[in-house]
A and B are shown apart, each in its own frame.
Chain A
Amino acid sequence: MLFYVTRRLLSAVVTVLLASVMVFAAVQLLPGDVATQVLGQDATPEAVAALRDQMDLNRPAVLRFLDWIAGVVRGDFGVSLVSGEAVAGTLWLHLRNTMLIAVATVAVAVTSSIVLGVLAGLYRDRWPDTVISTLTLIGMSVPEFVVATLLVLALSITVPVLPAVVLDEASAPVADLLPAIVLPTVALSVVMTAYIVRMTRTSVIDVMAGEFVTTARLKGIGTARVVVRHALPSALLPTLNVIAMNVAWLVGGVAVVENVFNYPGVGQLMLEAVHNRDLPVLQAIAVVSAVVYVLCNLAADLGAMALNPRLRTGERSTR
Chain B
Amino acid sequence: MSDPSQNRAGDGGQGAGPAPATGALRRTLRSLTRSTPAMVGLGLVALHVLLALFAPLLTPYSPTANTPDQALLGPGADHWAGTDALGRDVLTRVLYGGQYALVVSFAATACAVALGTLLGCVTALRGGWFDDALMRVLDAVLAIPPILALLVVVTVLGAGPAVIVLAVTIVYAPQVVRVVRAAALGVAPLDYVTAARARGERTLPILVREVLPNIVNVVAVEFAMRASWVVLLISSLSFLGFGANPPTPDWGLMVSENRTAMVVVPWASLAPILALATLVVGLNLSADGLSKAWGVDRVKESS
Asked if B155 is an interface residue, CB under 8 A from chain A, the answer is yes
Interfacial chain B residues near A195, Cβ < 8 Å: 302
**Cβ < 8 Å to B, chain A residues 274-319:** 274, 282, 285-286, 289-290, 293-294, 297, 300-301, 304, 311, 316, 318-319
Contact B3 A202 (CB under 8 A): no
Q: Which of A16, A146, A149, A241 contacts B143 (CB 8 A)?
A: A16
Q: Given A140-B284, A146-B255, A245-B1, are A22 and B148 neighbors across the interface (CB < 8 Å)?
A: no
Interface centre among A18, A143, A289 (most CB of B within 10 A): A143
Contact B136 A300 (CB under 8 A): no
In the complex, A178 Cα to B69 Cα: how many Å?
A: 46
Interfacial chain A residues near B156, Cβ < 8 Å: 26, 29-31
- Interface of chain A: mostly helix, strand, loop or mixed: helix
Nearest neighbor of A141 in chain B, beta-carbon distance: B280
In the complex, A11 Cα to B255 Cα: how many Å?
A: 43
Contact A286 B144 (CB under 8 A): yes
Q: Given A241-B303, A289-B143, are A282 and B182 neighbors across the interface (CB < 8 Å)?
A: no
Asked if B25 is an interface residue, CB under 8 A from chain A, the answer is no
- Interface of chain B: mostly helix, strand, loop or mixed: helix
Partner-contacting stretch, out of B56-64, B75-83, B97-105, B231-239: B231-239
**Cβ < 8 Å to B, chain A residues 178-224:** 195, 198-199, 202
In the complex, A260 Cα to B262 Cα: how many Å?
A: 15
Partner-contacting stretch, out of B4-12, B16-24, B195-203, B211-219: B4-12
Asked if B264 is an interface residue, CB under 8 A from chain A, the answer is no
Interfacial chain A residues near B85, Cβ < 8 Å: none
Q: Which of B144, B153, B281 contacts A141 (CB 8 A)?
A: B281
Nearest neighbor of B297 in chain A, beta-carbon distance: A202
Q: Which of A11, A146, A252, A297 contacts B148 (CB 8 A)?
A: A252
Interfacial chain B residues near A140, Cβ < 8 Å: 228, 280, 284
Q: Which of A30, A31, A143 contacts B236 (CB 8 A)?
A: A143
Interfacial chain A residues near B185, Cβ < 8 Å: 318
Q: How far is the CB of A124 from chain B (nearest CB, A)?
A: 13
Asked if A172 is an interface residue, CB under 8 A from chain B, the answer is no
In the complex, A243 Cα to B284 Cα: how many Å?
A: 20
Asked if A82 is an interface residue, CB under 8 A from chain B, the answer is no
Q: Given A137-B285, A202-B300, are A289 and B144 neighbors across the interface (CB < 8 Å)?
A: yes
Interfacial chain B residues near A14, Cβ < 8 Å: 136
**Cβ < 8 Å to B, chain A residues 108-142:** 137-138, 140-142
Interfacial chain B residues near A202, Cβ < 8 Å: 297, 299-300
Asked if A265 is an interface residue, CB under 8 A from chain B, the answer is no
Asked if A267 is an interface residue, CB under 8 A from chain B, the answer is yes
In the complex, A31 Cα to B259 Cα: how many Å?
A: 31
The range of chain A's interface size is 35 or more
Contact B299 A11 (CB under 8 A): no
In the complex, A143 Cα to B252 Cα: how many Å?
A: 10
Q: How far is the CB of B184 from chain A (nearest CB, A)?
A: 11
Per-residue CB contact flags for chain B residues 142-155 toward chain A (1 = under 8 Å, else 0) read: 11111111011101
Interfacial chain B residues near A144, Cβ < 8 Å: 236
In the complex, A43 Cα to B135 Cα: how many Å?
A: 43
Q: How far is the CB of A214 from chain B (nearest CB, A)?
A: 22
The range of chain B's interface size is 35 or more
Per-residue CB contact flags for chain A residues 240-261 toward chain B (1 = under 8 Å, else 0) read: 0110010000011101100100
Nearest neighbor of A198 in chain B, beta-carbon distance: B299
Asked if A226 is an interface residue, CB under 8 A from chain B, the answer is no
Nearest neighbor of B178 in chain A, beta-carbon distance: A318
Contact A142 B277 (CB under 8 A): yes
In the complex, A270 Cα to B7 Cα: how many Å?
A: 35
Asked if A68 is an interface residue, CB under 8 A from chain B, the answer is no
Contact B2 A301 (CB under 8 A): yes
Q: How far is the CB of B174 from chain A (nearest CB, A)?
A: 12
Q: Which of B135, B145, B281 contacts A270 (CB 8 A)?
A: B145
Asked if B50 is an interface residue, CB under 8 A from chain A, the answer is no
Nearest neighbor of A21 in chain B, beta-carbon distance: B140
Q: How far is the CB of A58 from chain B (nearest CB, A)?
A: 22
Interfacial chain A residues near B299, Cβ < 8 Å: 198-199, 202
**Cβ < 8 Å to B, chain A residues 145-168:** 145-146, 149, 153
Q: Which residues of A are at the interface with B, using a C-beta cutoff of 8 A?
A: 11, 14-19, 22-23, 26-27, 29-31, 137-138, 140-146, 149, 153, 195, 198-199, 202, 238, 241-242, 245, 251-253, 255-256, 259, 267, 270-271, 274, 282, 285-286, 289-290, 293-294, 297, 300-301, 304, 311, 316, 318-319
Sampled A-B contacts (23; CB under 8 Å):
A16-B143, A18-B137, A27-B152, A30-B152, A31-B155, A141-B228, A141-B276, A141-B278, A141-B281, A142-B280, A143-B276, A146-B255, A198-B302, A238-B5, A241-B303, A252-B146, A252-B148, A256-B239, A274-B152, A282-B148, A297-B2, A300-B2, A319-B135
| Besides A141-B277, A199-B300, 20 other A-B contacts (C-beta < 8 A) | A17-B140, A18-B136, A18-B137, A19-B140, A137-B284, A141-B280, A141-B284, A143-B236, A143-B239, A143-B276, A149-B259, A202-B297, A202-B299, A238-B303, A251-B145, A252-B146, A285-B145, A286-B144, A304-B4, A318-B6
Q: Which residues of B are at the interface with A, using a C-beta cutoff of 8 A?
A: 1-7, 135-137, 139-149, 151-153, 155-156, 182, 185, 228, 232, 235-236, 239-240, 252, 255, 259, 262-263, 269, 273, 276-278, 280-281, 284-285, 297, 299-300, 302-303
Top 3 closest A-B pairs, CB basis? Answer: A252-B145, A18-B140, A290-B143
